[in-house]
Each structure stands twice: as C-alpha cells, then as structure tokens.
C-alpha cells in the first residue's frame, strides 16, 4: 500500500485549559477525497490548520510526503497587501505552474483580475481565494467551507471543477449536496477524537447513529449510570433524523398538492397568480416592478403566497433576492404594480449575523429577556432550561455569556430567540451560513413544525429540497419564475442548468423615484355587506364542521348506517370548502378595507 501524502497522528491541542483535540488522526492518499465532519466548535478548522502547517499541535506527528504541494482555503481569506485579484492569485503559483490558469479561473468565477481586493464583497473574496488554491493544481487541497458566500451557479461550477481535479482533498462543508457528490471517505471528529469510514457522505448519518447506539449499549453493559442530560443532547440527533425522514415524505405530498394547484411554471407572469386558491392569503403581488437606476431587479412579477407555504428564493449574488424579500414583506415599495400583505401578520426575521445578541448577557437572560426563568413559546410558559435543551444546550450553559459561545452555538441561540417570539410569518435570509450539520437538522425540524408561513433565501441545495414547498428563481433581467417543489424539482422543470449572470460588483445606484401607484379600489356596498356578514357565516360553518365531525366520531357509524356516514362525510367536505372560501373572501376584503382607510 502506497504511503499517504498527508498523515496526522495522535494530534492533541488545548485552548486554554480545555482540550479541543485529544487523539485526532487523518490520512490522505493520492487522489483521495475525504470529508471532515463534526459539530461547530469540535475542532475541524483547527485540525485543518495543523494539516496546512499554520498551527502547531501540542502533541502528535504531522507528515507530508516530500515534494507534495499543499494548498489551504481558510474560511476568512486575507487578500491584504495585493494591488489586484490577479496579483493575489498569481502569488499562489509555484515554479512551473501555468500562469494562464490564474486568469482562466478568475474569469470562470466572474472576476477579471483588475479588482481591488480591499473593495471586494465576501462572495468576491471567496471566489478570488478559490482561484488562488485551484490555480496550481496542487497534490493536496484543504478546503474549509468553500461554498460560503457563493451563489448557486458558482457552487454548481465549483462542484464540477473539484470533481475534475486529480488532487487529494480534505473538505469541510455544511453543504450536504457537495459532500455527497465529492467525498469518498468520512472522518468524523467528535469529542476530541476521530473515526473514519471509507464510504461517501451519503452513509454518514446511518453510520453515526450506529456508533452512538453502540456506545449507549456498551455503557449499559458496563453497568454505568448514563449522564442523561449530555446523552439527550447527543443521542437526540438520531431521533430527529428519523422524524425528518418521515417529514420529507410529508413535504413531497405538500409539493404534489401545490403543483396540482398551480399548474406548470414558466413565463414572466407566475402561474400561481391565476391559480385557484384554497386557504388564507399571506402576500399578493400583482405586476410588480422594481429597478435601481436603469437596472431592473423585478419585472412584471405576479404571485401569491398562501398560509403554510415555505417559499425558497434563489438566484445569483446581486440578482436581488433580498430586495424581493423586502418587497414581498412590505418593507419596500415597488416602482409599479401592487403588493398586498395579509392582515394580522406577525413577522419575525432571523438575524443570522447575530447582531441582535448582547455578548455580555448570559444565555438564559438572552432567552428570557432577563425576566425570570421562563420563556413564552406559542402562548405557553416553558422553563428556560427545558427550552435550551431543545436547541442542544446543556443546563450548565445557562449562565454562560453569549460572547463565550462558538459560532455554531450563537447560531442555535439566534434560532431559539427568533422562534420564541410570537409570529405567523418567518423570514430567513441565508439561515444556513456557518451552521453545522446537526444544527441544520434541528432547523429543518423546527421549520417542519412551524405552523405559519416561511420566506427563505438560501444557497443550500439540500436544505431547499428538505424544506421548501416552492422555489422562486431569478431567471435574469429582472424575471422571476415560480416552481413547485424544492431545488431539484426546479432544475427538472427548467430543463436547463443554472448559469452565471452578469451582475454589478459594486453597490447599486440609488433607486429612482417610485412611479405613482394606481388609485386603490373602493369598497362597494356589496363588499361592505360581505365584511359585516362573513364573520357570522364563518362561525356557523365552524359549528357545522364540529357537528359533522362529532357524528363521524362514532366508530360504529360506517357499519351501522352507511348512508348516514356518507351524508356526514359529504356535509363535512362541503362545509370545509365553504369555510375556506369564506375565510379567503373575508381576508381579501379586510386587506382592501385597511388599504382604503389608510390612504
């Protein structure tokens, strides 16, 4: 067997007095593709820095085969000291490397090489750093979250480019789709030690569950008492994954229903605008347009978002995803067209930048607002310790200052704070950034249980497939098209891959003065009468539904009186349909009344 190109053995390192890595090992042979997985804060990035020679371990050995070239992509690349992006990339070339490859890769990643590194966005800096590590075609690539800040077309290009390389790779990523596509081996870093499985990432979760279940059995055999709190935090992952498998099946059913209701996708005007609706309206957009200067961001957009929808918004960086989100939630006015937001909406925006967290406050005080030891969730009081456990925190962390938490822990705390606030509309702008795989599983479960509506901007393909009931994609030149299903469903319906789009790299010009909006429709006498009478009709229909449900609750009715069972079933279905129509009509009229009175 050929010796490995890179071999780390018995690696130990401590941060302060706490051991981070106690017995870590990783070996990479020529052409091997290894994914390094583990919770945020488990030491993955530290181990990769030791492999790159940037950090010295307290103990252990590091071997790199003589003559082997190693290139390392950090999470936060430093482009300081270079006049242009091309100079930065060329500085990573070695003797004999092709200088034309630097120019080629920059062009493929949407850069021309003349950009000032000091003025790059996060996504542009990530692209330049990728070009720098890929240009030499090294023997070993060490990649720490390579898809961070990249849009979907760039991620698709990167996946194809990495798949074509002969380089050995060690890859840290929260992008499941990338890991499943590229990895051939798994190194799992957990509680300071590593375990290896020579299979792709698609087998990781079942393997992890088997390892944890075997640990639990071994502890019982030794007769030791389990530490219940810590075990719940760790072994609860298995139960969550099994629940998520069931929920994925339910999500497929929701998508099928939505596809039938909406018809085929395509065209500048979304099919949903003309589709028949059942349920309450959350957002109605009709012929909406928005431009910044002469650049159209949204052009002739018409769509409806219904209660319970989980809508993913995707597109290249700079396409206007955040602008579209602001339009749909009423935070920004369109230049033309009309957007109506449902009455009684309570919106919560997930602050993934953690700017709302006070680093000096304790975890418990952040959740309770410093008032007592309970949290109000869905109208019910819960002890803060119990609520913390839902987000993988141990009781001993209650008095930990927020500033001492790891990035992944702050991400979980942000989720806990946002979801404790009463809401029926959840707005998520890039919620998966920097979250580990277990926290992603937790977020998927929380969204599956969330009773309201979700608007989601994300570049995580697997997350969209697991969460979204529909996807709105930027097709270029301000056109947005609505597709039923998740990301994979969108690609199937489009029939063509996503492509890089030309978008400005600098800040957009100030918006032109909005065009005057058309005058609002007035309430007719018939509309006013309906507003007064519909609440009573809704109450009567709800009573009728309860009456028919009580009749059908008799388990012997079907065999004892089949005709009565059929009549009750038909009456229940009719009442439920009428209730949905009445609620729909009342909501439309109520939104119109608020708009007229607010002029």
Of the listed ranges 113-117, 250-254, 382-386, the one predicted with least confidence = 250-254
Q: How far apart, in Å, are the Cα atoms of 337 and each of 299, 334, 522? A: 10, 7, 17
Burial class of residue 276, CB neighbours in 10 A (0-12, 13-18, 19+): exposed
Q: Which residues contact residue 518 at a Cβ distance below 8 angstroms, ignoring those fewer than 6 apart?
A: 338
Rounded CA-CA distance 122/430 in Å is: 14
Q: What is the pLDDT of residue 470?
A: 92
Q: Which CATH class is domain 252-271+307-330+345-494?
A: alpha beta
Q: What is the pLDDT of residue 598?
A: 54
Q: pLDDT grade, residue 519 (50/70/90)? A: very low
Percent of the chain with pLDDT over 70: 79
The residue-averaged pLDDT of 431-456 equals 82
Locate CATH 3.40.50.300 in the chain: 6-212, 252-271+307-330+345-494
Q: What is the pLDDT of residue 502?
A: 41
Q: What is the pLDDT of residue 2?
A: 66
Strand partners, 95: none
Burial class of residue 1, CB neighbours in 10 A (0-12, 13-18, 19+): exposed
Locate CATH 1.10.287.380 in the chain: 525-597
Q: pLDDT grade, residue 348 (50/70/90)? A: confident
Q: pLDDT at residue 302 above 60?
A: yes
Q: What is the pLDDT of residue 407?
A: 67
Look at phi and psi of residue 51 and say left if phi exceeds 0, alpha if psi is from -120 to 50, else beta. alpha
Q: Which CATH class is domain 6-212?
A: alpha beta
Pick from 284, 285, 283, 248: nearest CA to 485:
248
Q: Looking at residue 401, what DSSP letter applies? A: B
Burial class of residue 579, CB neighbours in 10 A (0-12, 13-18, 19+): middle
Classify domain 525-597 by CATH architecture: Orthogonal Bundle (1.10)
367-376: per-residue pLDDT in tens?
A: 998 888 888 8
Q: What is the pLDDT of residue 508?
A: 37
Q: How many CB atoms neighbour CB 454 within 10 A?
A: 21
DSSP H helical segments within 395-503, as ranges?
407-420, 437-449, 461-467, 487-494
Rounded CA-CA distance 313/457 in Å is: 5
445-497: per-residue pLDDT in tens?
A: 888 888 889 999 988 999 999 899 999 999 888 999 999 888 888 888 887 76
């Amino acid at each position: 067997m050929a010796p490995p190109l890179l071999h780390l053995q018995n690696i130990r390192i401590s941060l302060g007095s706490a051991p981070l890595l106690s017995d870590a090992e990783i070996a990479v042979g020529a052409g091997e593709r290894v994914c390094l997985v583990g919770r945020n804060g488990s030491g993955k990035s530290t181990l990769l820095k030791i492999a790159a020679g940037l950090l010295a371990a307290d103990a252990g050995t590091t071997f790199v085969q003589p003559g082997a070239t190693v290139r390392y992509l950090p999470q936060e690349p430093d482009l300081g000291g270079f006049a242009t992006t091309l100079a930065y990339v060329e500085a990573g070339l070695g003797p004999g490397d092709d200088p034309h490859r630097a120019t080629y890769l920059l062009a493929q990643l949407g850069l021309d090489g003349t950009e000032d590194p000091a003025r790059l966005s996060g996504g542009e800096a990530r692209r330049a750093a990728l070009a720098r590590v890929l240009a030499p075609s090294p023997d070993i690539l060490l990649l720490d979250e390579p898809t961070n800040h990249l849009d979907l077309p760039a991620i698709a290009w990167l996946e194809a480019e990495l798949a074509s390389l002969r380089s050995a790779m060690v890859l840290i990523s929260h992008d499941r789709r990338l890991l499943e596509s590229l990895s051939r081996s798994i190194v799992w870093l957990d509680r300071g030690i590593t375990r290896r499985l020579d299979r792709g990432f698609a087998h990781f979760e079942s393997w992890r569950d088997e390892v944890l279940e075997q640990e639990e059995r071994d502890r019982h055999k030794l007769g030791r008492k389990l530490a219940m709190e810590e075990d719940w935090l760790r072994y609860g992952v298995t139960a969550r994954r099994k629940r998520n498998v069931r929920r994925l099946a339910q999500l497929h059913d929701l998508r099928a229903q939505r596809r039938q209701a909406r018809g085929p996708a395509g065209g500048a005007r979304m099919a949903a605008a003309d589709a028949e609706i059942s349920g309450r309206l959350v957002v109605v957009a009709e012929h909406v347009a928005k431009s910044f200067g002469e650049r159209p961001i949204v052009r002739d957009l018409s769509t409806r978002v219904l209660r319970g929808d989980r809508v993913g918004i995707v597109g290249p960086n700079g396409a206007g995803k955040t602008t579209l989100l602001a339009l749909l939630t009423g935070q920004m006015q369109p230049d033309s067209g009309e957007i109506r937001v449902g009455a009684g909406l309570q919106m919560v925006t997930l602050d993934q930048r953690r700017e709302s967290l006070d680093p000096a406050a304790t975890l418990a005080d952040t959740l309770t607002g410093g008032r007592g030891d309970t949290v109000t969730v869905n109208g019910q009081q819960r002890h803060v310790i119990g609520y913390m456990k839902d987000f993988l925190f141990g009781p001993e962390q209650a008095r930990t200052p927020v500033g001492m938490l790891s990035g992944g822990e702050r991400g979980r705390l942000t989720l806990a704070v946002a979801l404790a606030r009463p809401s029926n509309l959840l707005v998520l702008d890039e919620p998966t950034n920097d979250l580990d795989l277990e926290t992603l599983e937790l977020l998927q479960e929380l969204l599956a249980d969330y009773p309201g509506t979700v608007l989601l901007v994300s570049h995580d393909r697997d997350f969209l497939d697991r969460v979204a009931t529909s996807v709105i994609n930027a097709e270029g030149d301000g056109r947005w098209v609505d597709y039923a299903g998740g990301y994979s469903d969108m690609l199937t319906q489009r029939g063509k891959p996503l492509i890089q789009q030309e978008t400005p790299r600098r800040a957009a010009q100030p918006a032109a003065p909005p065009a005057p909006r058309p005058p609002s429709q007035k309430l007719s006498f018939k509309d006013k009468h309906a507003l007064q009478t519909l609440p009573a009709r809704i109450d009567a229909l709800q009573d009728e539904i309860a009456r028919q449900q009580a009749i059908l609750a008799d388990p012997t009715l079907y065999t004892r009186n089949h005709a009565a069972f059929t009549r009750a079933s038909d009456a229940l279905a009719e009442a439920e349909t009428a209730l949905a129509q009445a609620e729909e009509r009342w909501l439309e009229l109520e939104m119109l009344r608020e708009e007229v009175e607010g002029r």
